[in-house]
Amino acid sequence: MKNPSVDTHLLPADRAGDEPLLAVDNLHVEFQTRQGVVRAVNGVSYSVNAGETLAVLGESGSGKSVTAQAIMGILDMPPARIPKGEVRFHGTDLLTMRDEDRGQIRGRRIAMIFQDALSALNPVFTVGWQIGEMFRVHQGMSKRDARRKAVELMDRVRIPGAKSRVDDFPHQFSGGMRQRIMIAMAIALDPEILIADEPTTALDVTVQAQIMGLLAELQQESDMGLILITHDLGVVADVADKIAVMYGGRIVEHASVFDGYRAPAHPYTKGLLESIPRVDLKGQELYAIKGMPPNLLDMPTGCAFHPRCPYRKENCVTDVPPLYTVSDTRGSACHYWREVLDDGSR
């Protein structure tokens, strides 16, 4: 059978000891489409603790954003459906929670920022109004106080001249400043978890670094758990504690950022690392993973990565690899993870 549902649970380290701050456990998300059921998220498990940064890596369509939206509870259902899995926050499953209770968490204790801040901010309201709305709606604060808090937050995310710009509209800001406004809005109520969905993709490289620096700084100040969703490995290396690499709706590798970069345990991670341009290999042909990302409506049999995989053997075409435990904090969904690991990075 093509693309069967796969159960994948948390790594041993996450199951032992205290319950993590946020734990996604064997999450499945399906989309009902005209062409059939799309398994966008197929048994994803990961955890984040206070002060920790998890980077979720993957190409578009790998399911990383859908997982985040399921955590936030902002998926459109239908067409989306969550047939099984848990999203535990402080040990309580958010998915089975009553809507009112979940509303208390969304935006206040788990917040999210999005990729393109220009379209993610409402064009017809001032930025101060949009930031202040968090205080007005969630804390019943007066307009005046909320505006003052908005200025404070804009200062905190280092928007120059916050006081004079609080009544400006989103289109009057530059891309980097707009993303800062998104961040200000998200951290307004001191959330415990911040999910950043490709926060720097739409920005210039120099601005990217500033935004990442800001996120890391804010995280340290308030001990937030940060889930950083990105397809850009370069962005991740400096700020992340651990990485989860997604492919075709599954997590194919879990690792600490150090281990993952030094010696990947999945051929896809290895391919991603090798396709980063490097100064010391100047003049050589740039490596690219051959083939195309899988079509979720027509997934390959066996391991979803097998058509593109240099380590492919016969059973890869037929057997779906489970998430093998590499160590307490490491997992790889590759039958031949040992060989990959032994090869090391280039």
Partner 1 sequence: MGRYVIRRLLQAIPVLVGTTFLLFATVYALPGDPIAALGGDRRLDPQLVARMREQFHLNDPLLVQYWYYIRDIVSGDFGTTFRGVPVSSLFQGKFQVTFQLSITALVFEAVIGVGLGLWAALRRGRWQDQAVLAFTLLLVSIPTLVSGFVLQLVLGVKLKQNTGIDFFPVAGIQDGMRSYIVPGLVLAGLSIAYLTRLTRTSLMETLRADYIRTAVAKGLPRRRVLGRHALRNSLIPLITYLGADLGTLMGGAIITETIFNLPGIGQQLFQSVYLRENAVVVGIVTVLVLVYVLANLIVDLLYAVLDPRIRYE
Smaller CB separation from partner 1, 196 or 320 = 196
**Interaction of residue 120 with partner 1, rule CB under 8 A:** yes
CA gap 252, 239 in Å, rounded: 21
**14-43 burial code (b ≥16 CB/10 A, e <16):** beeeeebbbbbbbbbbbbeeeeeebbbbbb
Of 31, 46, 89, 114, the residue at the interface with partner 1 (CB under 8 A) is: 114
Smaller CB separation from partner 1, 22 or 120 = 120
From residue 169 to residue 208, the character string flagging contacts with partner 1 as x (rule: CB under 8 A) and all else as - is x-x----------x--x-----------------------
CA gap 53, 63 in Å, rounded: 19
Q: What is the token pair recorded at 180?
A: 């800062």
Helices (H) and strands (E) in the chain, counts: 14, 13
Q: Which helix (H) or strand (E) holds 106?
A: none
Reference 45, options 90, 82, 3, 11; nearest CA is 11
As a residue count, the chain comes to: 346
Give least dist CB 146 to partner 1, A. Answer: 13
**Interaction of residue 106 with partner 1, rule CB under 8 A:** yes
From residue 216 to residue 255, the character string flagging contacts with partner 1 as x (rule: CB under 8 A) and all else as - is ----------------------------------------
CA 334, 335, 339, 342: dihedral to nearest 10 degrees? 50
Stretch that binds partner 1, among 21-29, 119-127, 276-284, 288-296 (CB under 8 A): 119-127
**Interaction of residue 294 with partner 1, rule CB under 8 A:** no
Smaller CB separation from partner 1, 73 or 249 = 73
Reference 191, options 222, 163, 159, 167; nearest CA is 222
Residue 303 φ then ψ, to 5°: -75, 130
**Interaction of residue 97 with partner 1, rule CB under 8 A:** no
**Interaction of residue 108 with partner 1, rule CB under 8 A:** yes
**Interaction of residue 273 with partner 1, rule CB under 8 A:** no
Give least dist CB 172 to partner 1, A. Answer: 9
**Interaction of residue 89 with partner 1, rule CB under 8 A:** no
Q: What CA–CA distances, in Å, run from 53 to 73, 169, 193, 222?
A: 21, 31, 10, 13
**Interaction of residue 119 with partner 1, rule CB under 8 A:** yes
Judged by the rule CB under 8 A, the positions of this chain that interact with partner 1 are 72, 74, 103-108, 111-112, 114, 116, 119-124, 126, 133-134, 137-138, 169, 171, 182, 185
